[in-house]
Amino acid sequence: MAEQDDQQHSPIDANTRTADSVLNASCDATTSSAESLSESPPHPKVSFGLLAAVACVVLGAKLLVISVLGSPSPLLDQWDGEGDNLYVPYLRDELTISHLFASHNEHQIVLFRLLALFHLELAGEWNPRLEMILGALIHVVVVTWLVALLIPLISPQRRLLSACFIAFVFALPIGYENLLWGFQDQIYFSLLFGLATIAAFVVAEPFSLRWFGGLTAAVLSYFSFATGVAAILVAGALISLQMGTRVRRRRGREYAGLFVLALIAGMMILWTISRANSTTTTPLAFIIGFVVLAGPTIVGTIVIQIPVIWFIKHTVARRPVISDPAWVAIGIAGWVLLQLVLIAYGRGTVFGVRYLDILLPMYPVALVAVFTYADATRGMQFEKYTRRASVAWVFGIVTAVALLGYFASILQSIDWSRSANQQMSKVQAYLHTGDRNDLRPKVGGGNTVDVSFPNAQKLASILDKRDIRAILPPQLRPADADIGQARNRMWLRGRFASSTAATMHVVLSIGPAFLAVGVGLFFAIGARRKAFAAD
């Protein structure tokens, strides 16, 4: 009877109710029983063509940037963190499990080390550009999966626009450090397995196969990057929220599952604390760092985070079934925010642009929130204003991202490439002359980015090792280096070195083709929809 009354009165009061009253009324109608679960509207699946378009655009843009700006030389702490601490013991047959699990600053980068060894075997040499390509592929998988998870929350007529929005945001080299520095594939791993953790736990029955898959992903996320612990913490919080709103049954197995998650998360935190240096971040620096990073900029934080907060409140109020993708959106939002909190706590106001790739998944969630609010006010007196506001929001964000992408990303990535080439010239000079002064940082240079190794003496000692010289990229490898002997100590013995180099050349050459195909798919999908609408 309550549902019938609502249906009878809603046309009369449509022009006088506020958005909150309508949402509360619908919530009351769907949650009249504390034990019942609300029915969620069906969410049509996103088309394969739309996913392919996003993947092609993002991959093509990344390959294009790597091809033009990617340096073949190792950079910064890649020299010791990857070369000296991993490849040297590996080639000397001295690599142990402790080398793989050793902390790099506060990070656990086990997965990256395994990827680095895989790339070394595949290429038969140290090939940073191959690492960049592998990282780009991982990130494209993350972006495509993100689209598949969130697009069902958007009405069909807005999905093409939303997919274009997401492709545009991720195609720009916002986090160019990760793209042009193969050593930072660790962040891409963390994003991949963090997203897998949220997607698995949001609907998993305790101790089911999916539940253990989510747990495995959470552990892998932790062993990818320092912020990886956020995945399991948010998964536990999300399950608790579902139980608190009674969309997930409160029973012993659920509590036992939460206990296991809490126990493992506690072990992760304790292990990190035992290996990391104590932070000197002040409360003020933490607050400023978080506010600046969460947008980025203060205005960006307000424009992005307020719609997300409203969406979380709206979703919790209507209590959808756990299979509703809105829960995944909430999980992604919480996961991103907690990572930003951890970064601000550890770095304060001093952080690299590589952390912006952690923020970017919040943009699609905010887009979902804006469109959801516009739909929630349909039929109300101020509907036209919310629709105009959603259009203005999309216009403002795209414009801001375009400006950020050009001035803070494209121009900076060009400077990054220029500095990397200068670093490569220094290394080439040292390998030719043996003069350590060639490795010292030079004043000036006209770059806003410096990717040189900070300790010239230490870099010289690394370059003096025969194992490092032997596997250096061809652009750096001295004539007396014995690459054959180094490959004889590898499992694959350089068997795929030539084919890998040829494949890399082809892949980097067809980056523009991927980009063109992706853009063409977007236009084709739009034209197809217009044609069907006309029929």
Read off the tokens for 111: 């997965």
Q: What is the DSSP string of 129-170?
A: HHHHHHHHHHHHHHHHHHHHHHGGGS-HHHHHHHHHHHHHHH
Q: What is the pLDDT of residue 511?
A: 96
Write the CA distances from 146 to 43, 150, 226, 270, 495, integer angstroms.
16, 6, 21, 31, 37
Q: Is 107 helix (H, G, I), strand (E, B) or coil?
A: strand
Model confidence pLDDT, tens digit, residues 282-328: 899 999 989 888 888 788 889 999 999 999 999 999 999 999 999 99
Q: How many CB atoms lie within 10 A of CB 106?
A: 16
In sequence order, the β-bridge partners of residue 38 are 320
* pTM for this entry: 0.90
Whole-number pLDDT of residue 1 = 39
Measured CA to CA, the distance from residue 526 to residue 65 in angstroms comes to 27
Residue 238 confidence (pLDDT):
97
Provide the pLDDT for residue 430: 95
Are the CB atoms for 140 and 62 separated by under 8 Å? yes
Residues 6 or more apart whose Cβ sits within 8 Å of residue 27: 317, 318, 319
Radius of gyration for the chain, computed over Cα atoms and rounded to the nearest angstrom: 25
What distance lies between CA 292 and its chain's CA centroid? 18
Residues of the chain with pLDDT under 50: 1-40
The domain locations on the chain are: 48-413
Compute the distance between CA of residue 161 and CA of residue 166 in angstroms, rounded to an integer. Answer: 9
The percent helix, strand, coil of the chain (3-state, each to 5) is 75, 0, 25
Three-state SS at 353: helix
Cα separation, 189 vs 197, whole angstroms: 12
